[in-house]
Structure 1
């Protein structure tokens, strides 16, 4: 079984989300090249995690 977690802005506290956006902008100079105007794209996840958790089937 493979489970991935995706975080949407509505699922992350605003203070945490703002730090993530700030980090993203800092890693990409001013962040201007990351400006997205398409509302469909803007509503997508900010980031994903490739972290893997393994649980015994009985725990599920």
Structure 2
């Protein structure tokens, strides 16, 4: 699985960080969400899928 965040869409709501804190992060000065692990293992699929679903602007894409 590969995760990408469309930085043009991201509004830094932070719902993805709540859903999958091991995968997403927002630093103090960040204007968009950071992907900490762009290719996480299958054990993270459920939380990453939840994070993508929770994103109010649909900025997260999961491939594979």
Superposition TM-score, scaled by structure 1 size: 0.29
Superposition TM-score, scaled by structure 2 size: 0.28
Kindly indicate which of the two structures has a greater share of residues assigned to strand: 2
Q: Which has the higher contact order (CA 8 A, sep 6+)?
A: 1
Q: For the pair shown, which has the larger CA radius of gyration, 1 or 2?
A: 1
